[in-house]
Amino acid sequence: MIEPDHEQLSVREQCDLLGFHRSTLYYQPRPVPQENERLMRRIDELHTAHITWGSRKIRDALRLEGSRVNRKRVQRLMRHMALRVVFPQRHHHRLPPDHEVYPYLLRGVSVERPNQVWSIDLTYIRLDDGFVYLTAIIDWYSRKILSWDLSLTLDKSSGIEVLQRALRRYGPPEIFNSDQGVQYTSPAFLKPLKDAGVKISMDGKGRALDNVIIERFWRTIKYDEVYLNDYVSPAEARQRIGEYIAMYNGRRPHDSLGGRTPNMAYEDGGAQAAA
């Protein structure tokens, strides 16, 4: 499918046309110890079911299930999986000096139309042998997933590609919200938002519910799709997740949207705003 020696298109351009991240070309199963892999799967399930549980509570739950695990190991695995909890954390990692943090702008805001507020986040997706990270941008009003990608690492390139793709397809939002991770505070990530005049909002440290709309989507896709399947490779995960997101946007009704799908709410809201 990808031709490394193509005369006219680079590997990156071919990946962009096919809609997947370049790093997936070089995937090799990660040499994750079997016990760590089992723990990460269970930690992900516990975190999804109980987003307020920190490393102590998850450690205690694992011990009740028979796992001999200490808190430091749980903390290390949760960091590796990019999992966050909803209470403020006492110790914070320092960002590089050229990274910027912005205040949270959405407290008390009434979201009344598409493209008023977007959020970005990433989550751990388990494979049969290893794992990948899913990054997505969601429109708060319609719950529509505007752009997404799978990547093998936590570097900022995947988030930048997801953001640029959403901006090309839908134009800029009024407010863009993220957490304070290094992926989203970097100059390269913030530049397209600044250039488009977007107001930048960031969650408080350790407050995952500041980005509650996309947290609800992670819960939905994991229970409805990810936990029901054992993806053999990133390619299979990409195909199945892509099919699920297409169904979620186009055919899954939401009670909060009056029984409409996200696509319907996005289009209806845009038409009303234009009128």
Contact status, residue 124 vs residue 218, Cβ threshold 8 Å: no
For the chain, where do the domains classified as CATH 3.30.420.10 start and end? 117-274
The first and second tokens of residue 217, run together, are 């989507």
Residue 89 predicted with pLDDT over 90 = no
The per-residue pLDDT for 91 is 45
Radius of gyration of the chain (CA): 19
d(CA 49, CA 26): 33
What is the rounded CA–CA span in Å between residue 245 and residue 251? Answer: 10
pLDDT at 128: 87
Residue-wise pLDDT for 196-251, tens only, equals 999 999 987 545 556 789 989 999 999 999 999 989 999 999 999 999 999 999 99
pTM, 2 dp: 0.80
Residue 42: how many CB atoms within 10 A of its CB?
17
Per residue in 15-66, pLDDT (tens digit) is: 655 455 555 555 454 555 788 889 999 999 999 998 888 899 999 999 999 9
What CATH topology corresponds to 117-274? Answer: Nucleotidyltransferase; domain 5 (3.30.420)
| Neighbouring C-beta atoms of residue 117, cutoff 10 Å | 23
